[in-house]
Structure 1
């Protein structure tokens, strides 16, 4: 579906941030803080998945005083942020853009740790026979990405590098699975996407790389995000959780073959595909620094300047610097 506008109303902002169902979920309330149950949101990829499967994360938190670790699976970043916003989880991870939308919508999140990304695990694709040979050629054409995702920011940056804006293309707001189907059927001209969809499209759907990931300053970041109450009431547990995530990230970087095997078991994707994608992935978690805050502020300012989010966002107000690194 093509967006009617590239500007988001307050209601649309809530939806893009994953907070559209906030009123419904708020009634669920929070868990028993006195029980020191740490609730962690994860998706079937990356370090959070590894942390759940290896079990070292749980052991580390139990040693640090947690009574229990509960893992809750989410299909994507927006619903994970929704759960974080209403206190359904204490910790989770997403790319750089979703928390900006959530912060603009008033979610009580904190940036607790960062993964600096090379951007190699994604990029912009077009069909091999599309006749589109540069970003400038996308003018007037259909460009697909998931609104509120890291791909949204990449689209903005890349178009600006070619002297274009989102108003110069036909923006198609689709989740990865729907976009993959549309791309395979020739319904979109360009697609901003990440692995494993990025590699799958090249292998199965005659996709050609229009712009490789990491070009035009599109590396970006991913974040471990914490609920404000968890950070305020359990700072030692949060620090221990980040230590454990960093240790799992280091393990993944040193054992990429084993990481690919784990992801193949969990996702059902081929081991050959995942060996390829894992080689390009970034796993290391590091502390939130002034440099990290400034980089994320640049993204937030860009979205506000373009009117994509209706209110300015101050990243420093949501930065947690209580973790100094493992």
Structure 2
């Protein structure tokens, strides 16, 4: 009988890592170490990383192979996708997960070093781009993108959040290279810089914007969903590994599908699991990964996501981070199609859930859903001491946000939430009689 062991995760990039493929005879068979690179706090990848590891689904699928091999899974945790790519192209990580922009760099670097990689599945996505947000300090006078002119903006160059920053500035008529001072920083460093005042704004990916807003350390300045361009994270694999160990990759993709289904069926429990593993507040995890969260999880490689990936290439080329990338050659969905079988077509055609308002009551293992933000406010006003978290979708983009951190507008009998002051004021300007009100005023009106 084959056994599966879990190796201790290493976080230091320079530690020696055991790559897959080397096997040593052990008893009646060989031993193979599969090294998986993931980003525990980039919670849009949990179905290929944090949650998957917590559930033990990959190890169970490997056990089910019953091929006489003892498999060891070596989980490697990183803050961003760049070091995962470095280790993959060095032959030290077999399977990795990262965002769309890092995926393109993964493809380019793999081809450059003759260590080709392939995008084999998707973890989570947002069809409008809401996974990335630009935030500023809670007491900042900055109100819109134009206010960033001449300011210091922290981001991680080459990341999806950097792509959002570049596109947003360009649409606002600003030159990303000349009109701001871009600080290339890791997310945690950028968050500290924002708090210390050495950065005026921060453009980052999940879960940093939501975390900082939840902690009262930031407010949203720009919702990435305003771009109306899909953003996603996905799973990449070394091509030689996929060809040499197709059964292992198949086991991984089946396990990813199991983790995806678990998240969909038990969103609160999944949020708690991820929170326990990462130290992130459960309320923040649920903002992104909940039943109506910012991210939708599905391993299918949807055509609109591939199309968006192609639109990302010029942004990276303009930043001189890569040359041309053959996206069609990089995307290889044959493995996930085989792993999921007949259900793949159903997943491919599935759509994100309809936007809704949610309350997570204290002590509850499930949330309550409301048709309108006003109905949610009525509930919160009547149960102020019994609410763990309340979430509302932006009135224009549908991006979920914390109700007490949203910018509220009263328009007749309507109470409308917005992520940012700019979008709220834009709505007010186009609707006579509408006005911005405080959260407390919104609660009072709804009670």
TM-score range, shorter chain: 0.7 to 0.9
| Equivalent-residue separation in structure 1 for 2:204 and 2:303 (angstroms) | 29
What does 1:1-326 align with in structure 2 at a 5 Å threshold? 31-32=21-22, 35-44=31-40, 45=43, 46-47=46-47, 48-64=49-65, 65=67, 67-76=70-79, 77-105=81-109, 106=112, 108-118=116-126, 119-167=129-177, 168-279=179-290, 280-282=293-295, 284-288=297-301, 290-304=303-317, 306-322=318-334, 323-324=336-337, 326=340
Distance 1:26 1:101 in 2: 23
SS, match of residue 237 in structure 2 = strand
Equivalent residue number for residue 384 of structure 2: none
User: 1: CA distance between counterparts of 2:285 and 2:333?
Assistant: 33
Distance 1:84 1:210, change over 3 A: same
Alpha carbons 1:61, 1:69 under 8 Å: kept: no
SS at match of 1:117: strand
> 2:37 and 2:313 mapped to 1: Cα distance?
24
1:112 aligned counterpart, secondary structure:
strand
Asked if 1 retains the 8 angstrom alpha-carbon contact of 2:20 and 2:33, the reply is no
Q: Is the 8 A contact 1:184 1:205 kept in 2?
A: no
Q: CA deviation at 1:166?
A: 1.5
- After superposition, the C-alpha distances for 1:139-176 in whole angstroms (9 at most, x for unaligned) are 22111111122111111221122122321211111111
Gaps of 5+ in 2: 1-12, 24-29, 341-447
- Could you tell me how far 1:218 is from its partner in structure 2? 4.8
**Structure 1 range deviating more: 82-91 or 283-292:** 283-292
1:214 is paired with a residue of what secondary structure? helix
Distance 1:281 1:262, change over 3 A: farther
TM-score by length of 1: 0.83
Q: Larger radius of gyration, structure 1 or 2?
A: 2
Q: CA deviation at 1:310?
A: 4.4
Number of aligned residue pairs:
303
Whether the 8 Å CA contact 2:214–2:284 is kept in 1: the answer is: no
Deviations 1:167-191 (A, max 9, x none): 1211111111111111011211221
Q: Quick one: distance in 1 between partners of 2:282 and 2:319?
A: 42
Give how far 1:299 is off: 0.5
Rate the CA distance shift 1:72–1:182 in 2: closer, same or farther, 3 A: same
- Cα separation, partners in 2 of 1:235 and 1:28, compared to 1, 3 Å: closer
Q: Structure 1 residue 258: deviation in Å?
A: 0.7
Partner of 1:12 in structure 2?
Answer: none
Structure with the largest fraction of helix: 1
Counterpart-to-counterpart distance in 2, 1:206 and 1:26:
37
Q: Is the 8 A contact 1:25 1:86 kept in 2?
A: no
Post-superposition offset of 1:234: 2.2
Q: CA deviation at 1:291?
A: 4.2
RMSD: 2.6
Gaps of 5+ in 1: 1-20
| Structure 1 residues 218 and 182, CA gap change in structure 2 (3 angstroms) | farther
Task: Determine the C-alpha separation between the residues in 1 that align with 2:186 and 2:156.
Answer: 5
